[in-house]
Amino acid sequence: MLALSDAVLGFHSGFWFVYAAAAVAVVFGRISRDRGVGAIAGAALGSSLSFFLITNFMVWATTRIYPATLAGLAACFTAAIPFYQNQFLGDAFYTLAIFGGYALLKRSFHPAHQAA
């Protein structure tokens, strides 16, 4: 879907960074597979945090919006915090909805057997 939306809306100069950040999220998902609730929560947090760091570093490194100094990098990350808050809340909501919903459905259709 990411590639399709870019094909329709147009590719931008930093799209490789966005794709790399999305690939990191896939790696986190693969690592957390079948490892429990803590691993899923950690993968969701790691995915959103890595996306934030990678894409905002790209903005700082490839544009002239912020000075090419540590202060400029800090200003770039600081300006992006409100966007990260929304991303984090969305990731938390959908992670809970998808994985929690799956667990509830699985429990509903395959209840644990009780000893007599």
**Phi, psi (deg, nearest 5) at residue 103:** -65, -40
Q: Judge whether 54 and 24 are in contact, CB under 8 Å.
A: yes
Q: DSSP code of 110?
A: S
Q: How far is Cα 100 from Cα 97, in angstroms, rounded to an integer?
A: 5
Q: Is 33 helix (H, G, I), strand (E, B) or coil?
A: coil
pTM of the model as a whole = 0.76
Per-residue pLDDT of the chain (116 residues; tens, 9 = 90+): 888 888 888 887 778 888 898 899 889 888 888 888 888 888 989 999 999 999 999 999 988 899 999 999 999 999 999 989 998 899 889 988 988 888 888 888 876 665 55
Residue entry with tokens 């200003």: 75
